[in-house]
Amino acid sequence: MIPSILKLDKGGMPVAWIRWQTAATLYARKRVCWEAGEERFVVRGGTCARTGRVSELRIGSIIAVADRSRRFEGSAPLLTNRTLFQRDHNLCMYCGNQFSPGLLTRDHVVPASRGGSSAWENCVTACRHCNQRKDDRTPEEAGMKLLAIPYTPNLAEYLILSNRRIMADQMEFLLSFARKKAA
């Protein structure tokens, strides 16, 4: 099984994960400008009736494409519980304990019932106990300290969060665009 291919714009900025079939179409339409990374996948096609040779296409794990697709340009990436929990490393941002995703909830720092939005900057991972304890209050009102400031991941960070099967060369490439942690 071929993993997802990392699609870049022709300037080298990460854009999206695409399936190998989409990548094959981009190669066939001569839309791939260049490749990065070490991994290549061979996709075999039909047999030529005249020569008897099987056609094959080599697909890079990271491809730059000449098109205008720029996901999330000027807007935040999609917030899902899975990507939120991954951003917060499955840690409750109140008690600091790590939990399996099934035991975690999305907490709105400023409660939704009080006008808080479902935006990255207002959402954190919380265990069920802490979320119920905080209830319909801000962390300050509930006497609970928030262990980290919620933030919106950039596109490279979001692509890391949204794919479960990232190859080493893809991860290395994306990490070069991720924010550096303060020492």
CATH of the domain at 134: 1.10.30.50
Same domain flag for 68 and 11: yes
Q: Residue 59 gets which letter from DSSP?
A: E
In a domain, 64, yes or no: yes
In a domain, 109, yes or no: yes
Contact between residue 7 and residue 60 where contact means Cβ atoms under 8 Å apart: no
A 10 A CB-CB count for 163 gives: 16
A 10 A CB-CB count for 126 gives: 26
C-alpha span between 56 and 34 (Å, rounded): 18
What pLDDT score does 133 carry?
97
Q: Provide the domain limits for residue 88.
A: 81-142
| pLDDT above 80: residue 90 | yes
In a domain, 183, yes or no: no
In a domain, 93, yes or no: yes
pLDDT band at 57 (very low <50, low <70, confident <90, very high): very high
| pLDDT above 80: residue 68 | no
pTM of the model: 0.76
Q: Is 76 helix (H, G, I), strand (E, B) or coil?
A: coil
Which DSSP helix (H) or strand (E) runs through 55? Answer: strand 54-65
In a domain, 157, yes or no: no
Task: Please state the domain count of the chain.
Answer: 2
pLDDT band at 69 (very low <50, low <70, confident <90, very high): low
In a domain, 182, yes or no: no
Identify the residue with better confidence: 67 or 160.
160
Contacts of 96 (CB under 8 A, 6+ apart): 147
